[in-house]
Structure 1
Amino acid sequence: MVYPENFEQKIEFHKIRQLVDSFCMSSLGKEKTSEMHFSTSFEEIDRWLSQTAEFVRILEEEENFPADHFYDVRTVLRRLTVEGSWIDQHALFEFRRSLLTIYAITAFLRRDEDKNPKYPHLLSLAANVVVYPDIIKKIDAILDDFGQIKDTASPQLADIRRRLASTINSISKTLNTLLRNAQSEGFVEKDVTPAMRDGRLVIPVNPSYKRKIRGIIHDESASGKTVYVEPAEVVEANNRIRELENEERREVIRILTDFANYLRPFLPDLLEAYEFLGWIDFIQAKAKFALQIQAIKPDIADSPEIDWVQALHPLLYLSLQKQNRKVVPLDIALNQENRILIISGPNAGGKSVCLKTVGLLQYMVQCGLLIPLKENSHVGLFSDIFIDIGDEQSIENDLSTYSSHLLNMKFFLKNCNEKSLLLIDEFGSGTEPQIGAAIAEALLDQFNRKQSFGVITTHYRNIKHYANDHPGVINGAMLYDRHQMQPLFQLSIGNPGSSFAVEIAQKIGLPQEVIDRAAEIVGSDVINIDKYLQDISRDKRYWERKREEIRHERKRAEDLSSKYQAELEKIDKQKKEILAQAKLQAEQLLAESNAKIEGVIREIRQSQADKERTKQVRRSLNEFREQVVRKKEDETNKRLMSRLSPTKKKPQENVQLFPGDAVRLKGQTVAGKILEIQGKKAWVVFGFIKSTVAIDKLEKVSQSQLKKEMKEAIPDSNMRELMHERKLKFKPDLDVRGMRGDEALQAVMYFIDDAIQLGISRVRILHGTGSGALRQIIREYLTTVNGVTHFQDEHVEFGGAGITVVDLE
């Protein structure tokens, strides 16, 4: 069940229904759209979704799906159940064309029925559709291709039309003769031709000559300048035409009545076929709507759960698409551990949109509509969805807004269970805050005890505390950019959100004394808690950004590692090939040397040299052979080393390094830049990473190598776009007025760090004058930051000592 009665209106599902309806091709599909309803049956919902998903594939992949002539002739067919009734000519033509469409669709779906059907869920719809080809043949014997009754529809009709044509031809000849005579006597204009009035052939005549032609006056033109005379000579013939036309009409009715009699036994099957055509029309409309909003069939479970990744509000998506803007997707998860999500954050920050997105998409999927989210999402089913959004005060029932909320809460408590989904906006609002917050907490406790699921928005601090202290309930926040003072419309689950009431009041321009007085009234603890929430939210976004950057760097390192591993394997293969080639060449050289040695020995023996002389020569030759082998090995090793490191240079010894030099770690390839040297250590920035390194572990490289590394520091277009987008959004002014010292210092640290990373050359920090303590803390910190080249007071005309201008490398 869904509650209240205007549930669809509250989540704007009626607009979804209208959009689906606009894609229907006939009243058949529109009727199904109006009947679309919320279901709790897993089998039914899965079947609906599968049918629509299959039709999406048809729209994307098929070109020959029959999509013409979706006519609704069910009313005509139902009238034919009465004996003696007939189907009129126009309805018969629509019946024929829509029947052909039904036959074509069933043939399309049944083409692989005996093998592995491509669209099994749509095929199951066609299971009860009975095809009667003889009906089409029967209609084709009656109608031509333009929907007109054929002369051959019956022998009697052919005879009647033959006689009718003969009579009309005879009258035409007589009229033409009379017309020529009248024209020769000047009674009728030269360019006048016979006309038809009330089914009778007549001659247009000037009123002054109407008595000159014997006959019957049938009509007069609007201007009164022409009268239409039926000559007496053709009156009888015209009467005969009337009789023949009546005979033709009676024969046509007889033919159509005979066809109705023939068709009557098939009417139940035909009505079932048009029911099928209505479903196909409805499903194709849902599929076209799904493509319009980029919707998919999600992984669906027969249990209450929500695990959505990048879900979109379809109506907001379509609206922003017209403005060339993008909607911020929603990531949300509700499970048995965290069933109820408490969302807090500033007004106009997207809390209600988040709530409506959950309600609309869950209702859509349980009505059988595909929904826009990512494929790795998981969708569960709920037996009930209860919603409490908006002002429900009633003059008729004398109910205030808060009273109507309480009535809804009463209904929720009575009917909710472990399979219910509660959607409550501004929980507990509308009455005195203290008692409203207490009642809201008590209600939340009951919902939690009943193990219901829910998404609830609130500003009450006690509700946030309850979520922190009780299992089954979890906090969430709509993020807000504190520096730019604008909502991010992004849901973050795990921490409560801040209302940013003070910041928004300052942005609007409320007098500072009013804001200060408000802070005194609520107390510093309340203000500080709100600021702590802001700090947590800001830190979380900062570290999420850092984590994303690290992820990109890690992927780059992994890619480089894979590349180097492949290079090493290639080098190892080349080494083996070179050594094998060198060994072969050495063996050839030794063989040549041995042949030379043996030749010398033969010469010695032939010259009758003594044994001692022979031994001496052999030793000399052995020494020669060893020298050749060593020389060949040296040449091979040199060639191998040359191929392994063709550009290697001699290491630089005792090279003095200075700030600004391009360097790299010895034995590494990534180049960096020295920012500062402190004793035996140097501050070096490698890509986006800044670290201290011992000077003796660094070696100097060329500036061109550094530029190449800096280009490769952002290897993919996504990272470049990310940095470019961050740089565009970066504001060079930071306002820390009103912050505590530690809070201001932390904000400045993040601010300066981001500015250095993005290559910003100058920024301004607004700290005010006051006692000067905040200014001193900030400037003491700036003296310790590598990358800060200079800072000073702003020009007196633009803020003077209340603003510090910082120049960065």
Structure 2
Amino acid sequence: MDVHAARVLEFSRLAERVARHARTREGRDAVLNLSPLPPASFPELPAVMRQVARFMELVGEHGPVPLAGIRSLAADLELIRAEETYLPPPTLISIAETFRGLEDVTGYAAAMDERFFPLKILFEGLRSFRPLKELIESCFDEREEMKDSASHALAEIRRQIKSTRRNLKNILEAHLHNPDYQPIIQDHLITQRNNRYVIPVKLNFRTFFSGIIHDQSRTQMTFFVEPVETIGHNNSLGILQQEEQEEKIRILKMIAGHLRAERREIVRVLEQVFVLDQVQAKALYGREIGGTSPKLLTEWPAGFSLKQARHPLLLAEKGAAAVVPVDIDFAAGIQGLVVSGANTGGKTVALKTLGLVCLMARCGLVLPVAAESRVPLFDEIMADIGDEQSISKDVSTFSGHLHHLDEILRHCNARSLVLCDELGAGTDPQEGAALAMAVMDELHERQSAFLVTTHYNKVKAYAYERPWVESVAVSFDADSLQPLYRLQYGVPGLSNALQIARLLKLKSSVIARARKYLDRDHDQVMMMAEKLEKRLLQVENKERELFRLKQEAFHLREQCREEREKLREEQEKLRLTAKQQLEKIIGRAEKEFKALLAGLEEKQRELEEGSGLAKVKTGGMRHEFADLKREVTSLLPPAPERPRKAIDLSVLAVGDRVILDGSRQEAEVEAVDRQKKLVVLRLPGSVRASVPMDRIASIAGRKKKRDAENVRVSIPAGGGSPLPTLNLIGKRVEEAREELERYLDRAVRAGMGQVEIVHGFGTGRLRQGIHEFLRQLPYVSDYHHPPSEQGGQAVTVVKLNV
């Protein structure tokens, strides 16, 4: 990476912005040292960028990976490489904290669902080292003191120390409270000197008891004496304390041994976690700027395009609502852009946006551009931006620019991007313009892509006269004297210096005098250019308004369709409810009627047996009940006829198996008369029948081997020009691609240069599938999302070669 270009493009600020999202010091340091991958690694970049984009989805759904408390342990583990070495308790407790952090990370990985399986590689092989963490935690308390339970030997030694210390203090307390010793007791307290327990007494203590003097006060009036009765106890206590220290060191060495055995594995796992932290920092930054992973180009004969691009630093600082996106388009055959227009209009921001986005792509960062962008991977990005004056080095602004231009022209090639702000500025305008044009000639010969900004009219004219350079203007509203921060292709921009001076409240008399110095020809050119710019702005506004109205109509149509569907569902629900209730009533009546008839027939038999009366006819009653049941059922509203899925009968051939409407049995096609729209079928039982083609409900199967003479090809008529908008919302990718292909074929035959595909936001799968399909079509010259007020990423505008 060119160091000067990285500095003037403020790449270090970008790295700092990403590093803010790192959770570990090592991950933060790695991001701060972020640098673009070399050209040999370009094939890896799409996968790297997709990984970051997928990680954005992961943290959006599950939150960031918990990395608190994790730090590098390499330096600590290096201290215990040799046997018999150990680490102090505070260091061990810090290591346990890192292991707790690793436990959180492995728990996070275990909770990830299978949708994020591609990210598993970042978590594979991670370990929490839980046994080591539990070993350390079992040995130390929160005050970093070793616990009695660290070993049985330590517990026993400390028990003996407590007992010996208690006996010692009892003997000393007896001396302090002995009435006979009160004349020589200087102070009623037990203290320590030379790690031995003593009491403070006066100079004449010897006449009362024997002991060893360990210290005296500054005034030499107090002696710190160990009575002879406590010497043995103090000796025992000293030996026990030495044993305690030896046992603690043994435990520390034991822990160090376990850490030493896992040293390489611990270092490997932590290095993997720091890589994970870097990917997460990129993902969190990507969410901050709303980044995408567009198509990356290693070659760009068809040009490249940054759609809806935003300056990443402005985006992170001010938010998406405050940053106006720009489209930076290098069409096929266009090698350079010459951007002109008012100061403060966004020329330099657009130039820096292109440079930073291309650097970000080489770093594997997601980009602040629309997903359908095509971003080139340049081997070198060179820039000459800003004031290069240096008084200490005796270098003027113009000299500084020349120095950097010389370096650029020495090293640029066909895989370089050159960015020059105010090319040729800082000297006589005539000579500066000539120098700028000569530099662009040289860049053209070297086949380098370039973007330059200028106020020179000659340089603007140069861009108009050469087919490999495109003139671009930054939009400016002359009425409100406000820049619009949009790029207009194919027109030069007006500098509007006097309008900007007025906006910045320069003295009005100075502006008036300046206008007098402008010649009449210049005024005419300015007026014509201003009118042209206004006309283009009006056209853009009308296009946006037209698209807005079309979007409103589309949404209203969709709303009506949804309301109709909802009404149909409600009607169906009411019909089914009424039918169920009526069926229950009829069922109960039928049950009661049958019981009544059964009772009546039973009485009939009894009468016949007793008196021989004529038989009562109940059959008529049954028929009457059945008629009444049918009459009641007919009161139900009929079930709405569902539209049958259209069948392409143009491909129907002899030998196909079909199913007729209202039937479940298959029949084989024996003949097809397309003129009369009749089909001869062989039904089950070798019965032949001639039926209309519209009676066929579905094609159950095709003949496995079809003779060439039986093949029929039918091309439907075009049916006139299709509508300029195709709605694919709600369709699956394969279904949408088939309908889109048919639609575009008709649009091309109708001579339509541009159409709009409405696919909605959704999960993005439909949009991605449509874009992948469009890239395969030879008659599609370009496609992009319109501005957000015209549908944004819910709509794709397709340009056709007609």
Query: TM-score, with normalisation over the residues of structure 2?
Result: 0.61
> Structure 1 345/142 Cα, relative in aligned 2: closer, same or farther at 3 Å?
same
Alignment of 1:276-355 (within 5 A): 276-303=272-299, 306-320=304-318, 326-355=322-351
1:170 alignment counterpart: 167
Residue identity in the other structure for 1:7: A
Looking at structure 1, the residues matched to 536 and 181 of structure 2 have their Cα atoms a distance apart, in angstroms, of: 104
1:434 alignment counterpart: 430
Structure 2 counterpart SS, 1:81: coil
Of 121, 125, 129 in structure 1, the residue corresponding to residue 122 of structure 2 is 125
Looking at structure 2, the residues matched to 111 and 570 of structure 1 have their Cα atoms a distance apart, in angstroms, of: 39
Looking at structure 1, the residues matched to 28 and 497 of structure 2 have their Cα atoms a distance apart, in angstroms, of: 48
Deviation of 1:363 (Å): 1.9
Of 392, 398, 401 in structure 1, the residue corresponding to residue 397 of structure 2 is 401
- Write out per-residue CA displacement over residues 743-797 of structure 1, whole angstroms, 9 at most, x where no aligned residue: xxxxxxxxxxxxxxxxxxxxxxxxxxxxxxxxxxxxxxxxxxxxxxxxxxxxxxx
1:25 alignment counterpart: 23
2:148 alignment counterpart: 151
Deviation of 1:537 (Å): 2.1
1:99 alignment counterpart: 99
Deviation of 1:415 (Å): 1.8
Deviation of 1:65 (Å): 4.4
Deviation of 1:441 (Å): 0.5
Structure 2 counterpart SS, 1:15: helix
Deviation of 1:384 (Å): 0.8
Deviation of 1:457 (Å): 1.1
Query: Does the CA contact (< 8 Å) of 2:422 and 2:452 recur in 1?
Result: yes
Residue identity in the other structure for 1:28: E
Residue identity in the other structure for 2:414: E
- Write out per-residue CA displacement over residues 564-618 of structure 1, whole angstroms, 9 at most, x where no aligned residue: 8999999999xxxxxxxxxxxxxxxxxxxxxxxxxxxxxxxxxxxxxxxxxxxxx
Q: Does 1:420 align with 2:437?
A: no
Deviation of 1:388 (Å): 0.8
Looking at structure 2, the residues matched to 158 and 540 of structure 1 have their Cα atoms a distance apart, in angstroms, of: 89
Query: Does the CA contact (< 8 Å) of 1:54 and 1:119 recur in 2?
Result: no
Q: Does 1:410 align with 2:406?
A: yes
Alignment of 1:677-692 (within 5 A): none
1:460 alignment counterpart: 456
Structure 1 counterpart SS, 2:281: helix
Residue identity in the other structure for 1:166: S
Deviates more, 1:458-467 or 1:135-144: 135-144
Query: Does the CA contact (< 8 Å) of 1:171 and 1:234 recur in 2?
Result: yes
Deviation of 1:252 (Å): 2.1
> Structure 1 267/520 Cα, relative in aligned 2: closer, same or farther at 3 Å?
same
> Structure 1 145/523 Cα, relative in aligned 2: closer, same or farther at 3 Å?
same
Query: Does the CA contact (< 8 Å) of 1:310 and 1:329 recur in 2?
Result: yes
Query: Does the CA contact (< 8 Å) of 1:187 and 1:206 recur in 2?
Result: yes
Alignment of 1:746-765 (within 5 A): none
1:37 alignment counterpart: 35
Looking at structure 2, the residues matched to 403 and 410 of structure 1 have their Cα atoms a distance apart, in angstroms, of: 11
Deviation of 1:235 (Å): 6.5
Looking at structure 1, the residues matched to 173 and 470 of structure 2 have their Cα atoms a distance apart, in angstroms, of: 96
> Structure 1 564/251 Cα, relative in aligned 2: closer, same or farther at 3 Å?
closer
- Write out per-residue CA displacement over residues 265-294 of structure 1, whole angstroms, 9 at most, x where no aligned residue: 432222111211221233333333333333
Q: Does 1:449 align with 2:451?
A: no
Residue identity in the other structure for 2:453: T
Query: TM-score, with normalisation over the residues of structure 1?
Result: 0.60
Query: Does the CA contact (< 8 Å) of 1:160 and 1:244 recur in 2?
Result: yes
1:381 alignment counterpart: 377
Deviates more, 1:75-84 or 1:6-15: 6-15
Q: Does 1:486 align with 2:479?
A: no
Query: Does the CA contact (< 8 Å) of 2:16 and 2:32 recur in 1?
Result: no
Deviation of 1:505 (Å): 4.4
Looking at structure 1, the residues matched to 179 and 55 of structure 2 have their Cα atoms a distance apart, in angstroms, of: 69
- Write out per-residue CA displacement over residues 80-103 of structure 1, whole angstroms, 9 at most, x where no aligned residue: 223332233222222233234335
Deviates more, 1:515-524 or 1:390-399: 515-524
Query: Does the CA contact (< 8 Å) of 2:337 and 2:469 recur in 1?
Result: yes
Unaligned runs of 5+ in 2: 570-802
Q: Does 1:526 align with 2:488?
A: no
Tell me the number of residue pairs that the alignment of Structure 1 and Structure 2 aligns.
563
Residue identity in the other structure for 1:491: L
Deviation of 1:424 (Å): 1.1
Looking at structure 1, the residues matched to 348 and 180 of structure 2 have their Cα atoms a distance apart, in angstroms, of: 84
- Write out per-residue CA displacement over residues 318-377 of structure 1, whole angstroms, 9 at most, x where no aligned residue: 4435xx982223332234433422211122222222222222232233223333333343
Structure 1 counterpart SS, 2:116: coil
Looking at structure 1, the residues matched to 111 and 263 of structure 2 have their Cα atoms a distance apart, in angstroms, of: 26
- Write out per-residue CA displacement over residues 423-480 of structure 1, whole angstroms, 9 at most, x where no aligned residue: 2111110111111110101111221333322221111112211222222321222222
> Structure 1 125/554 Cα, relative in aligned 2: closer, same or farther at 3 Å?
closer
Structure 2 counterpart SS, 1:331: strand
Deviates more, 1:227-236 or 1:16-25: 227-236
1:272 alignment counterpart: 268
Looking at structure 1, the residues matched to 334 and 189 of structure 2 have their Cα atoms a distance apart, in angstroms, of: 89
Query: Does the CA contact (< 8 Å) of 2:200 and 2:224 recur in 1?
Result: yes
Residue identity in the other structure for 2:482: Q
Deviation of 1:420 (Å): 1.4
- Write out per-residue CA displacement over residues 20-60 of structure 1, whole angstroms, 9 at most, x where no aligned residue: 33333333213322332111423443344344334333322
Residue identity in the other structure for 1:431: T
Looking at structure 2, the residues matched to 131 and 568 of structure 1 have their Cα atoms a distance apart, in angstroms, of: 58
1:615 alignment counterpart: none
Q: Does 1:261 align with 2:247?
A: no
Residue identity in the other structure for 2:62: E
